[in-house]
Amino acid sequence: MHMTFKGWAAIVLTIAAAGAAHAGGFSRGTANTDILYEDGRVVLQGGSTYVAPSRAYETVSGRPVSDGSMTGSYWVPGLAVKIGINDASSCALTYTEPYGASLETGAQTQRAQLLAGRDGSIASHLRSDEYGATCAVKLPAGPGNLVLVGGVFLQSIDYKDQSLLGTLHLGDDEAYGYRLGAAYEIPDYALRAQLLYRSAVDHEGDGTFTASPLAAARYGVPAGYTVFAHGGGTLPQSLEISLRSGVAEDWLAFGSVKWTDWSVLPSLDYVVTGFGPQHRDFNFRDGWTIQGGLAHSFTEKLAGLVSLTWDRGVSTGADVLTDTWTLGAGAQLKTDIGNFQIGAGLSYMTAGMQSIARSATLDATVGGDWGLGVTTSYAIKF
């Protein structure tokens, strides 16, 4: 073979990032625990994925609108350090942004919401950070190794939601979760089958609510009046099965199936002092993400791959998070100073609709929309 398949975990993860960044719900980045399988006593890898989705309403309250895209572009960073303890065990420190969202509706949509007397969200932003520590132990088993994986992570969130009544800001700096998994690998055939579980994380956060002029007129408080707020919710558990294997000279096939328990988040519930209990409905269903692809080694230093990812939309009618199809391609270049990976994904988001009857702020429809993801990373081994 031109290029050993043992070092291909990085390139497969890189191209997977371009597809995963368009996944359902609020999913964004995935911690690079695959670095545990890389050769080398110390391995460093860092990268970033840029995603530019374009989701726009076609109609609101039965009328055509031309507000343009309501989804903002964003970056998803990823850092990982593997430290080999001995030939049979290693640990990794990782960082990523596992969840995020950015939504801003246009003037026509906001006007329709005001005329309909609806006070729902007109702009929302969610950011999260995950700091993880994961270890793996290899046990000889037949022609390969049984690998046991486990670790913990700290997750924080920062959430802002603007409605016609005002702006809610909640944050939680410290919540914990864990990972557990098992894999079987035969390195000589680049074969690895893995089952990896990531736990749910419960968040409770304090913050503020700042009243808008509309709230001032309705409730008799000054515009800009700020009061205490408290609320929370659960971000989901997930289970992923992945398989990769050499299938011919210089060829590698890979695939994965991931289930994410988005139905655990029916709503964000919070309490605002003086305004009482409030909620933001999501009514998500569980998400499924299926990916498959092929990689090929062209020379000892250059490899490339293609992939296709399907993500089942989590929407049940309260929003327009529909199915997404992503075609990805990537390349890896080995140099004397490290390995460079680059990938890109073109995503198609299917048409859909939301309705007040299903807890949406307004009746609205979307057509088929497109998104683009570009990802790069660099890895070096010692």
Handedness of CA 85, 90, 96, 98 (dihedral sign): negative
Task: Please state, in angstroms and rounded to a whole number, the distance separating the CA atoms of residues 233 and 256.
Answer: 28
Q: Please give the pLDDT value at position 219.
A: 78
Tokens of 283: 């009514």
Residue ranges of the chain whose pLDDT lies below 70: 1-23
Compute how many other C-beta atoms are within 10 angstroms of the C-beta atom of residue 28.
24
Compute how many other C-beta atoms are within 10 angstroms of the C-beta atom of residue 248.
10
Q: How many domains does the chain have?
A: 1
Supply the CATH number for residue 295's domain.
Answer: 2.40.160.60
DSSP lists the bridge partners of residue 195 as 182, 241
Q: What's the pTM?
A: 0.94
Q: Please give the pLDDT value at position 14.
A: 58
Task: Please state, in angstroms and rounded to a whole number, the distance separating the CA atoms of residues 378 and 32.
Answer: 13
- Distances from the Cα of 158 to the Cαs of 155, 231, 273, 334, in angstroms? 11, 12, 20, 38
Determine if residue 2 is left, alpha or beta; phi over 0 gives left, psi from -120 to 50 gives alpha, anything else beta: alpha
Q: Please give the pLDDT value at position 96.
A: 96
**Residue 168: domain span:** 5-381
Task: Please state, in angstroms and rounded to a whole number, the distance separating the CA atoms of residues 240 and 198.
Answer: 9
